[in-house]
Amino acid sequence: MDYLPVVLVLLGTLSSCLAGAPRTTTPTTTPTDELSFQAMVAAPVNFSSESRIVGGQAANPGQFPHQVAMVVEAGEGAGRETSFCGGSILTETIVVTAAHCIPSETRKITVYAGANSIHDEPTKQELEVDSFIVHGGFSKYRNDIALVLLNTSLQFNERVQAIQLPPKDVGALVGSKVVMSGWGRTTTHGDISPVLRYVESYVLPNPVCQLPYLLLMQIDESHVCVSGLFKKGTCMGDSGGPLSTIKGKDGNATLVGITSFGMKYSCLVSWPPVFTRVASFLGWIEDGMEQLQGKRRPEGVKHLSRSTTRTP
Ligand SMILES: *[C@@H]1O[C@H](CO)[C@@H](O)[C@H](O)[C@H]1NC(C)=O
Ligand SMILES: *[C@@H]1O[C@H](CO)[C@@H](O)[C@H](O)[C@H]1NC(C)=O
Ligand SMILES: *[C@@H]1O[C@H](CO)[C@@H](O)[C@H](O)[C@H]1NC(C)=O
């Protein structure tokens, strides 16, 4: 274990707790915001929209072959909403994401794999979601996990790959170096970041992560937090996107978390972003995959109608 980062993140979180707390007063309601918790508390801080989105480093093509982009269309008429999420490839046909990315009124989900830019790129694969399953215990900041089944198989290549799940006994990973990736946008009202971005950080002990969230919610063992200290202003990935271990020279990356929530401008005030801890949901993932693949009674599975039924 790497002690120095742990000490640094401890200090960083404590100081951010003091610095950030007075800002947590004005609630707003943006139900499908990327990090709705985030939006709830930081409304008084008015940074430019650019500083909110741009940050981290641009990813190299193929650096995160497990990363997908998801465009989720929900609602009808005036209630219609299009939002943007990330996800991680588990198999040729199954992607894991956050439950809050898939509201109950979802009509259509388009998935883009093999793309650094989700604009035209020859390596991009565009697929549609046939069905999905959301964790039955999902409520706001808990059990924020969902699986989607694609309409056809992804073609795996150096730009499109599955990410491995952690072993059951992976432990709390405190102090481990991890990386989050995403395009940093939550809605398609305007352009998203032109290229995938990423930022590296360290896993915090949960009791430390709890401090800044003390009056807001309970951080439990099904959450994993990372330090917001190191890269100010750059810690935002997309909801549903991966928090993974750093890929070793000959090893593979492992999926540690799913981007779930944080404070708005988390990183500007060093507030730690929070992820769904994948190791806490290995049983649920296995069961959900079997349901989606028809190997088990599809009790929680919801189907989306095919695009042919919609007007062009
Ligand atoms: C926040 O910033 C935007 C863009 O810079 C500006 O138009 C808006 O008036 C600001 N809002 C507040 C409350 O200062
Ligand atoms: C799957 O969805 C994609 C994107 O909408 C579409 O181009 C493709 O034809 C679909 N494949 C099948 C087998 O339905
Ligand atoms: C890395 O992933 C590949 C493909 O999934 C797999 O065949 C290989 O065994 C993995 N390597 C390690 C060290 O886990």
Q: Which residue has the tokens 């988390």?
A: 266
Nearest CA to ligand 2 atom 3: 127
The tens digit of pLDDT for each residue in 68-121 reads 999 888 888 888 888 888 999 999 999 999 998 898 999 999 999 998 876 667
Ligand 3 proximity of 167 Cβ (cutoff 6 Å)? no
* Among the listed residues 172, 231, 167, 223, the one whose alpha carbon sits nearest the alpha carbon of residue 200: 231
- pTM recorded for the entire structure: 0.79
pLDDT, mean of residues 34-45: 30
Instruction: Please report the atom of ligand 3 found closest to the CA of residue 252.
Output: 1
The tens digit of pLDDT for each residue in 168-225 reads 999 999 999 999 888 765 444 445 566 788 888 899 999 999 988 888 789 999 999 9
Spatial distance between the Cα atoms of 42 and 40, rounded to a whole number of angstroms: 6
Q: How many angstroms separate the alpha carbon of residue 101 from the centre of ligand 3? A: 29
Question: Which of the residues are catalytic?
Answer: 100, 144, 239
In this predicted model, which residue has the larger pLDDT, 303 or 264?
303
The pLDDT of residue 49 is above 60: no
**In the chain, where the domains are located:** 57-295
Q: What length is written for the chain?
A: 312
Q: How many angstroms separate the alpha carbon of residue 243 from the centre of ligand 3? A: 18
Q: How many angstroms separate the alpha carbon of residue 90 from the centre of ligand 3? A: 13
Question: Which residues, listed in sequence order, are joined to residue 13 by a DSSP beta bridge?
Answer: none
Return the DSSP state at 96. Answer: E
Ligand 1 proximity of 49 Cβ (cutoff 6 Å)? no
Class for the domain spanning 57-295: mainly beta
